[in-house]
Amino acid sequence: MDQLFTMSLHTHTLTVILLILSQIGFFWIKKEPDFILFVRKVKTLYLVQTILYAMVVFTGLLMMAVTKFELWSIKVVLMIFLALVILVHQILLYKRLRPIRSDEKSLQEEYKRWASKVFGAEIAAELALFVMAFLLG
On the question of pLDDT at 136 being above 80, the answer is no
SS (H, E, C) the chain: CHHHHHHHHHHHHHHHHHHHHHHHHHHHHCCCCCHHHHHHHHHHHHHHHHHHHHHHHHHHHHHHHHCCCCCCCHHHHHHHHHHHHHHHHHHHHHHHHCCCCCCCHHHHHHHHHHHHHHHHHHHHHHHHHHHHHHHHC
Task: Give domain limits for the chain.
Answer: 2-136
- pLDDT tens digits, 84-135: 999 999 999 999 988 888 888 999 999 999 999 999 999 999 999 888 887 8
State percent of the chain over pLDDT 70. 99
pTM: 0.84
